[in-house]
Structure 1
Amino acid sequence: MTEQLVTPAVTYRDPKTATAWLAEAFGFTVTMAIEGPPDQPAASHYEMDAPGGGRIMIGGTWSEWTRSPADVDGANTQAVHVRLAANLDEHCATARAAGAQIEAEPADQFFGDRTYRAADLEGHVWTFAVHVRDVSRAEAEEIIGIRIDSPEWE
């Protein structure tokens, strides 16, 4: 098992339903399930592997400082970005069929990825990406008209 250096924790009103939906819509796989008591679904904890790598944690609204976007008029204070190995357009079609709200249709981006953005059953925003071509920093800067500072991007 590869150690995850960063693992987003995503809060849902109904984490068990969210876990099943994330598997169906986005292709995540459950790697851990701790079921809370029936009268305390927020005490449940799940971990899921993302297609292509990475992990997320799913939990309930167990504290005053954790809320689902469904609890705060749809507001998001973060979004989760998932890099896929391939088949972005098919992934989007599967998500749409499962009820995801497609916020941005699949499109090629200036930095060389093809992406789409979707909101899940409680309003969390997810961006999915597939790398489609290598782009130099100079080419990206020309496309967007802004200087990019990045020691890792040639």
Structure 2
Amino acid sequence: MPDFKPKPRNAAWLTPYLTLSNHEKTLKAYREAFGFEVDVRSEKDGLPEHLEISHGGKPIAMGGAEEYETGYGVGKSPATMGIDAPQAFYIYVDDVDAHYAGLSRKRTITVKEKPADRYWGDRAYTVTCPSGYTWMFASRLANPPADPGA
């Protein structure tokens, strides 16, 4: 009997599934501003019904256009619902300041916080994509501050 694998080889055990509004603008932001890759894109009626997005060769999210009605209902993005996303996605990059510098030329995202040293030992910044999701990008500090809780 062949070895059965319960998930695809490169898949994470937990992968967020995002509902995208204005999906082309959002995907453009993910590719051009964030440096993500769209590894899988299947369409139905001209709309992405399934996407798989990666960063640094690692899968980070799946999603589809909110205009596409799935068998489990129609999802809405935070932007469509007019709310702040209740979660954030935290992505490590090699050089957060260089990543932010490349991002600052893009007009498809909204900067919420510029790069700053964080008490937990990362340098990070926060943005919102066109679909209303919050993304934090970070790099580990070479000399993290002492633990404030110690």
Could you say which TM-score interval applies, normalised by the shorter chain? 0.7 to 0.9
- How far off is 1:131 after superposition? 0.8
Partners of 2:83 and 2:104 in 1: CA distance:
19
The equivalent residue for 1:27 is 35
Percentage of identical aligned residues: 25
Assess, with a 3 A threshold, how the Cα gap between structure 1 residues 25 and 113 changes in structure 2: closer, same or farther.
Answer: same
The equivalent residue for 2:81 is 72
Q: Which runs of 5+ in 2 are unaligned?
A: 1-8
- How far off is 1:73 after superposition? 1.2
- How far off is 1:53 after superposition? 3.4
Runs (4+) of structure 1 exceeding 6 A deviation are none
- How far off is 1:52 after superposition? 6.7
Partners of 1:58 and 1:96 in 2: CA distance:
25
TM-score, normalisation: structure 2: 0.78
What letter matches 2:21 in structure 1? R
The equivalent residue for 1:9 is 17
- How far off is 1:102 after superposition? 0.9
CA RMSD, Structure 1 to Structure 2 (Å): 2.2
What letter matches 1:73 in structure 2? G
Q: Which structure has the higher relative contact order (CA within 8 Å, separation 6+)?
A: 2
Deviations 1:120-153 (A, max 9, x none): 12221100111113648xx313xxxx46xxxxxx
Which aligned pairs between 1:25-64 and structure 2 lie closer than 5 A? 25-38=33-46, 41=47, 44-51=49-56, 53-61=58-66, 62=69, 63-64=73-74
What letter matches 1:95 in structure 2? L
Maintained 8 Å contact 1:10/1:59: yes
Alignment partner for residue 91 of structure 2, among 82, 100, 109? 82
The equivalent residue for 1:125 is 134
**Matched residues, number:** 136
The equivalent residue for 2:101 is 93
What letter matches 1:108 in structure 2? D
Q: Which runs of 5+ in 1 are unaligned?
A: 148-154
Q: Which is helix-richer, 1 or 2?
A: 1
